[in-house]
Amino acid sequence: MHRFAKPSVFLKLASAIMPWAIGITVVTLAVGLYLALVASPADYQQGDTVRIMYIHVPAAWMGLFCYVGMAICGAMSLIWKHPLADIAARATAPIGATFTALCLITGSLWGEPMWGTWWVWDARLTSMLILLFLYLGYMALVNAFDDSERGSKAGSALALVGVINVPIVKFSVDWWNTLHQPASVARMGGPSIDPSMLWPLFLIAIGFTGYYVIVLIVRVRLELNERRIRALQLGGVGQSVADQHHLAVPAKQAGAGE
C-alpha cells in the first residue's frame, strides 16, 4: 500500500491509467447520453422530465462516493501522515462538491415540474445540502492555516466527522417521511426500474467515475508541483529556517518524488 503511495510510483501509475480513463469516460458518456436523451423511453407519469434522472442520480452517487474517498484519504493522512493521502483528499473535494451541487440543481429542476416545488426541507434534500456544506467547509478549512499540515489535520477531522452524514443521505428516504422517492436501483431485491432506463444510468455513472479519475490525477499532479515549488522556495530562503519550523518535511517528501 505504501509502495503505491510514493509520489514517483503514483505519477507512473497515473500516466498509465490516464489514456484508459479518458477513453472509458468519452465512450461511456457518449453512449450513455445517446441512450438517456434519445433511445430511452419517456416515463408514463413523468414524461420527458425522467431524463433528468440520468444526470441527477449518477451525480448523487458521485457526491457520496467522492465524500467517502475523501474521508478515507483524510483518515490515512491523519494516521500515517502520508502526504499523498492528504493531496488526494484535497484534490477530491472540489470534484465531489461539483457533483453534489449538480445533484441539488438538477433535483430542483426535476422537482419544480413534478412535485410543484424547487425545494423542500425534507430529510433527503437537507442531508444532501449538508453534504455540499461539508465539502465547502473542508475546502475552506484546509486552506485556512499558514501551516498546511495543520490545515490538513483540521480538514481530515471534519471530513471524518462528516462521514456520519453519508448513511443519513442514503437511508433518509426510509427513515423519514419525505417527498423524495425511495431507492429504485441500489435496493434489496434488485433494481425496480426497466433495463432501458438502467443502462444510461449506469453508463453515465461510469463516465462520471472516469471523469473523477481524470480530474483527480490532474489535481494531484498540480498539488505535487506546488508543494515542490514551496519546498524549493524554502530551500532558497535557507535550510536552517525551514528546519526550525519543521517545514523541511514537505521538502524531503517532494524530493522523494524525483
Taking CB under 8 A as the rule, does residue 193 contact other proteins? no
Residues 113-142 that bind other proteins (CB under 8 A): 113
**Which grid cell is 19?**
489514456
CB atoms within 10 A of CB 146: 6
Measured between alpha carbons, how far is 257 from 172 in angstroms, rounded to an integer? 44
28, 77, 98, 165: residue in contact with other proteins (rule CB under 8 A) = 98
By rule CB under 8 A, what count of residues binds other proteins?
Answer: 41
Min CB(149)–other proteins separation in Å: 19
Asked if 173 contacts 16 with a C-beta cutoff of 8 angstroms, the reply is no
Asked if 100 contacts 94 with a C-beta cutoff of 8 angstroms, the reply is no
Taking CB under 8 A as the rule, does residue 218 contact other proteins? yes
Query: Which among 12-20, 149-157, 189-197, 220-228 is the span making contact with other proteins, rule CB under 8 A?
Result: 220-228
Residues 20-49 that bind other proteins (CB under 8 A): 33, 37-38, 42, 47-49
Taking CB under 8 A as the rule, does residue 57 contact other proteins? no
Looking at residue 4, the DSSP 8-state letter turns out to be T
- State whether residue 47 is helix, strand or coil: strand
Taking CB under 8 A as the rule, does residue 67 contact other proteins? no
Taking CB under 8 A as the rule, does residue 88 contact other proteins? no
Cα-based distances in Å from 175 to 122, 123, 167? 11, 9, 11
Residues 8-42: b if buried by 16+ CB within 10 A, e if exposed: eebeeebeeeeeebeebbeebbebbbebbeeebee
- State whether residue 242 is helix, strand or coil: helix
Measured between alpha carbons, how far is 10 from 27 in angstroms, rounded to an integer? 25
Instruction: Write the interaction track for other proteins spanning residues 228-247; mark x where CB under 8 A is met and - where it is not.
Output: xx--xx-xx--x--------
39, 226, 241, 245: residue in contact with other proteins (rule CB under 8 A) = 226
Min CB(59)–other proteins separation in Å: 7
Q: Residues interacting with other proteins, by CB under 8 A? A: 33, 37-38, 42, 47-49, 51-52, 55-56, 59, 94-95, 98, 101-102, 105-106, 109-110, 112-113, 211, 214-215, 218-219, 221-222, 225-226, 228-229, 232-233, 235-236, 239, 252, 255
